[in-house]
Chain A
Amino acid sequence: MTDVKVHVEKVNKSYGSNHVLRDISLDIKNGEVVVMIGPSGSGKSTFLRMLNQLETPDSGTIVVDGFDISNSETDINKVRENIGMVFQNFNLFNNYSVLENIMLAPVELGKLNKTEAEKLGRELLDTVGLADKADANVKSLSGGQKQRVAIARSLAMQPDILLFDEPTSALDPEMVGDVLDVMKDLAKQGITMIVVTHEMGFAKQVADRVVFFESGKIQESGAPDQIFSAPKNDRLREFLGKVMHA
């Protein structure tokens, strides 16, 4: 296998007359942390959701982990087992306890037995700082705690790719730090991470590469230093002017 974890070529997507993605091409290397920024409605979330087929492209090719997921013959469930996803609204399973949320997929998919899954679940909860919440009802958690459980759940299948869809946007400001800390730790461990966020600080500190989306196109991409200190694209400059001095 090559060093390319995600290969995207000329992807297009429209909702009716709204052309949300235009000829997007992007390669992401194994272990790379890519942060995608851009104004709302620029297509970055749609693009992220295509990487595990929650959305399907109208045209173009998406290869993840060597599997062509733009081909309908591919068994998407197998590919998804290796891709974790964290949502803006957490989407924890309301009918299970915290620990059961984490154990569900590995047990149901026959990857681990119950004892192994519980052990892994408790370890993961420990790494996100919520070991004492294992048996809690998910409804009793704060937003920040929920999102950390969601991250632990996405790690339960031991994926090598993690997708984050605005993971801190639904959180109270004082909760954001806890979640970002967990994400920073993960970045250090060499997992391939693709993050859609409005947290410019996180992008600056953690990203290997920052990709700027606007009007369904990648307008500019590069190392965080270059993007934030020496942006070339006019729209990027305008966008940064708004978000950095707000």
Chain B
Amino acid sequence: MPVIQYAIKNGVKLKVMNAKQLGNAGWYGFAVKKGENKALLTAFNQGLKSIQKDGTYDKIVKSYLGKSQEHFTGKTSDNNSVLGLLKTNRKAFIDGLIETIKLTVLAIILASIWGIFLGILGISETKWLRGVSTTVIYIFRGLPLMVLAFFIYIGLPTVIGTKVPAFLAGIITLVLNEGAYTAAFVRGGFEAVEKGQMEAARSLGLPYGKAMRKVIVPQGLRIMVPSFINQFIITLKDTSILSAIGLLELTQTGTLIVARNSQGFRVWAIIAVMYLIVITLLTWLSNWVEKRLEIRFFTSKG
């Protein structure tokens, strides 16, 4: 049973051959060759008993199914109206939403920092620094997000020898991918500042760094604001791809609920609306911040 639930959770295609006997089967079973290996069978049974006794069994089941155990077992007699679905799965929806928001906020902050850093490298006066920026942007903008996620979550651990927690892998994936896009428009934004601004600053005697900080960066950032808002929204939507590495965010939550109650249309409609609401809030927030920035930095009194 847990194996099947785990398969459902991870979207593995699995066919149950002897469905009638399923109810009689225990939670866990081991397969041994019939008639042979009696000693092995006894050892298995003893081992099973002892891990059931000391709680290791529950731990194993929990570690594979996590919270989903409590969340996703329901009766078929549940109310399947939209309100009913919301009510029954309230906790699952909220937890999924919180996970999505956590991923989004962290990724937005870190990807922006990384992207601005890479973007500034990209307009450096030193040729090889520009090269580094261009290469990093090229690689991580070129890789599909899901491939990058699999590479970090599944590929890397086999080389570095330690597991990468799914959440961390998800954040790294988002930061590398969204950061590359951010770097590209950051570089473009700085390049869009008139060349004469730099010349005027330098001709007054300001060194390169000061000229950048005081004149080029503030004007460049202003050009980039709409791109930043756009990238924030894309980041939020891209978190759904991370359901592929088992992160229990909003999309994965939807998959699990539908797997249990088969109410695909209603559940996915609910999930879609939830995304739209968060995106709307994010857009409002971004526009509000943009206005505040506008007032503080870009206009003068009078």
Contact = CB atoms under 8 A, between A and B. Distances in A.
Interface of A: 52, 54, 77-78, 80-81, 83-85, 87, 89, 91-97, 100, 104-105, 108-109, 135-137, 150, 153-154, 156-157
B196 A109 contact: no
Contact of A52 (B203, B206, B207): B203
B199 A153 contact: no
A93 B213 CA distance: 13
Interface string B262-302: 00000000000000000000000000000000000111111
Given A95-B218, A95-B222, A83 B203 contact: yes
Contact of A100 (B194, B203, B222, B300): B300
Given A77-B206, A105-B205, A108-B210, A93 B302 contact: no
B38 interface: no
Minimum-distance CB pairs A-B, first 6: A97-B300, A81-B205, A135-B302, A91-B200, A91-B196, A105-B204
A234 to B, nearest CB: 35
Interface of chain B: mostly helix, strand, loop or mixed: helix
B52 interface: no
Given A96-B300, A137-B299, A137-B300, A91 B197 contact: yes
Given A94-B197, A95-B219, A54 B203 contact: yes
Contact of A105 (B206, B218, B300, B302): B206
B225 interface: no
B214 interface: yes
Contact of A93 (B201, B202, B210): B201
Contact of B199 (A54, A83, A84, A95): A54
Nearest to A85: B203
A156 B201 CA distance: 13
A121 B187 CA distance: 34
B120 interface: no
Contacts of A52: 203
A137 B295 CA distance: 13
Interface string B211-239: 00011001100100000000000000000
Contact of B200 (A78, A93, A97): A93
B199 A108 contact: no
Contacts of B299: 137
Interface residues of B, number: 24
A89 B199 CA distance: 11
A160 B204 CA distance: 13
A136 to B, nearest CB: 6
Contacts of A77: 205-207
B212 to A, nearest CB: 12
Interface string B74-103: 000000000000000000000000000000
Contacts of A97: 300-302
Nearest to A153: B204
B197 A104 contact: no
A136 B204 CA distance: 21
Nearest to A100: B300
Nearest to A109: B205
Given A81-B205, A105-B205, A137-B300, 7 more contacts: A80-B203, A85-B203, A89-B194, A91-B196, A91-B199, A95-B298, A154-B204
A95 B217 CA distance: 10
A194 to B, nearest CB: 13
B202 A54 contact: yes
A12 to B, nearest CB: 22
Nearest to A81: B205
A109 B199 contact: no
B38 to A, nearest CB: 83
12 contacts: A54-B203, A77-B207, A85-B204, A87-B200, A91-B194, A91-B196, A91-B197, A95-B298, A104-B215, A108-B210, A109-B204, A109-B205
A109 B202 CA distance: 12
A157 B200 CA distance: 13
A135 B197 contact: no
B202 to A, nearest CB: 7
A109 to B, nearest CB: 6
